[in-house]
Amino acid sequence: MKNKKVGILLFAISISLLIVFILLINSLQNEAEAIGCFEQQGCQQIETSLSIVHFAFGVFGFLFALSFYLFFFSKGEEAIVRRLERDTSKKLNQEKFNILLMGMDKFEKEVMQLLREEDSITQNTLRLKVQMSKAKLSQTLTNLEKKNLIVREKLGKTMKVQLK
Protein backbone atom coordinates (compact mmCIF):
# COMPACT_ATOMS: atom_id res chain seq x y z
CA MET A 1 0.00 0.00 0.00
CA LYS A 2 2.88 2.37 0.72
CA ASN A 3 4.30 1.74 -2.74
CA LYS A 4 0.99 2.75 -4.28
CA LYS A 5 0.98 6.06 -2.36
CA VAL A 6 4.59 6.76 -3.36
CA GLY A 7 3.69 5.91 -6.95
CA ILE A 8 0.80 8.39 -6.93
CA LEU A 9 3.03 11.08 -5.41
CA LEU A 10 5.77 10.51 -7.99
CA PHE A 11 3.18 10.55 -10.76
CA ALA A 12 1.87 13.94 -9.55
CA ILE A 13 5.41 15.32 -9.35
CA SER A 14 6.29 14.06 -12.82
CA ILE A 15 3.14 15.59 -14.33
CA SER A 16 3.95 18.92 -12.62
CA LEU A 17 7.51 18.76 -13.99
CA LEU A 18 6.20 17.98 -17.45
CA ILE A 19 4.04 21.09 -17.41
CA VAL A 20 6.97 23.23 -16.19
CA PHE A 21 9.29 21.81 -18.87
CA ILE A 22 6.80 22.39 -21.66
CA LEU A 23 6.30 26.00 -20.56
CA LEU A 24 10.08 26.50 -20.29
CA ILE A 25 10.74 25.09 -23.76
CA ASN A 26 8.00 27.28 -25.26
CA SER A 27 9.44 30.41 -23.62
CA LEU A 28 12.99 29.52 -24.77
CA GLN A 29 11.80 28.90 -28.33
CA ASN A 30 9.88 32.19 -28.34
CA GLU A 31 13.00 33.98 -27.07
CA ALA A 32 15.15 32.32 -29.73
CA GLU A 33 12.72 33.38 -32.46
CA ALA A 34 12.57 36.91 -31.07
CA ILE A 35 16.33 37.46 -31.30
CA GLY A 36 16.67 35.53 -34.57
CA CYS A 37 19.15 32.97 -33.25
CA PHE A 38 21.90 31.74 -35.49
CA GLU A 39 25.45 32.55 -34.36
CA GLN A 40 24.75 35.22 -31.78
CA GLN A 41 25.95 35.32 -28.16
CA GLY A 42 22.46 35.01 -26.62
CA CYS A 43 21.71 31.97 -28.76
CA GLN A 44 24.36 29.87 -27.01
CA GLN A 45 22.67 30.52 -23.67
CA ILE A 46 19.30 29.50 -25.10
CA GLU A 47 20.85 26.38 -26.67
CA THR A 48 22.44 25.42 -23.33
CA SER A 49 19.10 25.95 -21.58
CA LEU A 50 17.38 23.73 -24.14
CA SER A 51 19.98 20.98 -23.54
CA ILE A 52 19.30 21.17 -19.80
CA VAL A 53 15.57 20.94 -20.44
CA HIS A 54 16.09 17.86 -22.61
CA PHE A 55 18.05 16.26 -19.76
CA ALA A 56 15.21 17.20 -17.43
CA PHE A 57 12.80 15.39 -19.78
CA GLY A 58 14.88 12.27 -19.20
CA VAL A 59 14.49 12.73 -15.44
CA PHE A 60 10.76 13.23 -15.97
CA GLY A 61 10.59 9.99 -17.97
CA PHE A 62 12.34 8.11 -15.18
CA LEU A 63 10.01 9.52 -12.51
CA PHE A 64 6.99 8.73 -14.65
CA ALA A 65 8.11 5.14 -15.26
CA LEU A 66 8.92 4.64 -11.58
CA SER A 67 5.53 5.96 -10.49
CA PHE A 68 3.82 3.73 -13.05
CA TYR A 69 5.72 0.69 -11.75
CA LEU A 70 5.00 1.45 -8.09
CA PHE A 71 1.34 2.10 -8.75
CA PHE A 72 0.54 -0.93 -10.90
CA PHE A 73 3.02 -3.60 -9.82
CA SER A 74 3.09 -3.20 -6.04
CA LYS A 75 0.35 -5.83 -5.66
CA GLY A 76 2.52 -8.40 -7.40
CA GLU A 77 5.37 -7.82 -4.96
CA GLU A 78 3.02 -8.16 -2.00
CA ALA A 79 1.72 -11.46 -3.39
CA ILE A 80 5.28 -12.73 -3.79
CA VAL A 81 6.11 -11.81 -0.19
CA ARG A 82 2.95 -13.55 1.07
CA ARG A 83 3.78 -16.66 -0.94
CA LEU A 84 7.35 -16.73 0.39
CA GLU A 85 6.08 -16.41 3.95
CA ARG A 86 3.57 -19.22 3.37
CA ASP A 87 6.23 -21.48 1.83
CA THR A 88 8.64 -20.75 4.67
CA SER A 89 5.93 -21.56 7.20
CA LYS A 90 5.17 -24.87 5.43
CA LYS A 91 8.84 -25.85 5.40
CA LEU A 92 9.21 -24.94 9.06
CA ASN A 93 6.15 -27.02 9.98
CA GLN A 94 7.49 -29.94 7.93
CA GLU A 95 10.85 -29.73 9.71
CA LYS A 96 9.13 -29.68 13.11
CA PHE A 97 7.07 -32.70 12.10
CA ASN A 98 10.18 -34.57 10.91
CA ILE A 99 11.93 -33.85 14.22
CA LEU A 100 8.86 -35.14 16.06
CA LEU A 101 8.95 -38.36 14.01
CA MET A 102 12.57 -39.04 14.95
CA GLY A 103 11.55 -40.06 18.47
CA MET A 104 8.92 -42.58 17.37
CA ASP A 105 8.88 -46.23 16.40
CA LYS A 106 7.96 -47.29 12.87
CA PHE A 107 4.28 -47.91 13.70
CA GLU A 108 3.84 -44.49 15.29
CA LYS A 109 5.62 -42.83 12.36
CA GLU A 110 3.37 -44.57 9.86
CA VAL A 111 0.20 -43.54 11.73
CA MET A 112 1.38 -39.93 12.21
CA GLN A 113 2.31 -39.52 8.54
CA LEU A 114 -1.07 -40.83 7.43
CA LEU A 115 -2.90 -38.59 9.92
CA ARG A 116 -0.95 -35.60 8.60
CA GLU A 117 -2.21 -36.33 5.08
CA GLU A 118 -5.81 -36.86 6.27
CA ASP A 119 -7.61 -34.25 8.34
CA SER A 120 -9.77 -36.75 10.12
CA ILE A 121 -10.08 -40.50 9.63
CA THR A 122 -11.93 -43.33 11.34
CA GLN A 123 -9.91 -45.90 13.23
CA ASN A 124 -11.16 -48.71 10.93
CA THR A 125 -10.09 -46.84 7.78
CA LEU A 126 -6.76 -46.01 9.40
CA ARG A 127 -6.23 -49.71 10.21
CA LEU A 128 -6.82 -50.65 6.57
CA LYS A 129 -4.45 -47.98 5.26
CA VAL A 130 -1.57 -48.76 7.62
CA GLN A 131 -2.20 -52.52 7.47
CA MET A 132 -1.93 -53.19 11.21
CA SER A 133 -3.92 -55.49 13.40
CA LYS A 134 -6.65 -53.92 15.52
CA ALA A 135 -4.67 -54.57 18.67
CA LYS A 136 -1.42 -53.08 17.36
CA LEU A 137 -3.20 -50.00 15.99
CA SER A 138 -5.11 -49.53 19.24
CA GLN A 139 -1.86 -49.79 21.24
CA THR A 140 -0.10 -47.34 18.89
CA LEU A 141 -2.98 -44.84 19.07
CA THR A 142 -3.04 -45.11 22.88
CA ASN A 143 0.69 -44.32 22.99
CA LEU A 144 0.21 -41.32 20.70
CA GLU A 145 -2.71 -40.13 22.83
CA LYS A 146 -0.53 -40.37 25.96
CA LYS A 147 2.08 -38.23 24.17
CA ASN A 148 -0.72 -35.70 23.52
CA LEU A 149 -0.24 -35.87 19.72
CA ILE A 150 -3.63 -37.19 18.61
CA VAL A 151 -7.26 -37.01 19.66
CA ARG A 152 -9.75 -39.87 19.41
CA GLU A 153 -13.48 -39.20 19.53
CA LYS A 154 -16.32 -41.70 19.56
CA LEU A 155 -18.06 -41.85 16.17
CA GLY A 156 -20.78 -44.49 16.11
CA LYS A 157 -19.22 -47.90 16.63
CA THR A 158 -15.73 -46.69 15.78
CA MET A 159 -13.42 -43.83 16.73
CA LYS A 160 -12.52 -40.74 14.75
CA VAL A 161 -8.77 -40.01 14.91
CA GLN A 162 -7.06 -36.69 14.13
CA LEU A 163 -3.86 -34.84 14.94
CA LYS A 164 -4.02 -32.49 17.88
- What's the CATH number where 154 sits? 1.10.10.10
Cα–Cα distance between 109 and 145 in angstroms, integer? 14
**Mean pLDDT computed over 130-135:** 90
Range(s) of the domain holding residue 80: 2-100
Helices (H), the chain: 2-35, 41-102, 106-117, 123-130, 134-146
Measure Cα distances from 9 to 4, 16, 19, 43, 77 in Å.
9, 11, 16, 36, 19
| Domain co-membership, 94 together with 114 | no
More confident call, 143 vs 35: 143
Average pLDDT, the chain: 82
Residue 51 scores a pLDDT above 80: no
For 73-110, write each residue's pLDDT tens digit: 766 677 778 888 999 999 998 898 889 889 899 999 99
Longest dimension (CA), the chain: 107
| Domain co-membership, 150 together with 82 | no
| Domain co-membership, 29 together with 86 | yes
Which of 100, 127, 149 lies at the terminal end of a domain, its last residue? 100
Q: What are phi and psi of 41, to 5 degrees?
A: -65, -45
| Domain co-membership, 141 together with 74 | no
| Beta bridge pairs of residue 151 | 162
Q: How deeply is 156 buried, as exposed, middle or buried, from its count of CB atoms within 10 A (0-12, 13-18, 19+)?
A: exposed
Which of 49, 75, 100 lies at the terminal end of a domain, its last residue? 100
pLDDT value at position 107?
92
Residue 55 scores a pLDDT above 60: yes
| Domain co-membership, 10 together with 73 | yes
Number of domains in the chain: 2
**Mean pLDDT computed over 13-25:** 80
> Out of 3-7, 22-26, 73-77, 109-113, which region has the weakest mean confidence (pLDDT)?
73-77
| Domain co-membership, 123 together with 71 | no
Residue 38 scores a pLDDT above 60: no
Which of 53, 75, 100 lies at the terminal end of a domain, its last residue? 100
| Domain co-membership, 91 together with 138 | no
More confident call, 134 vs 4: 134
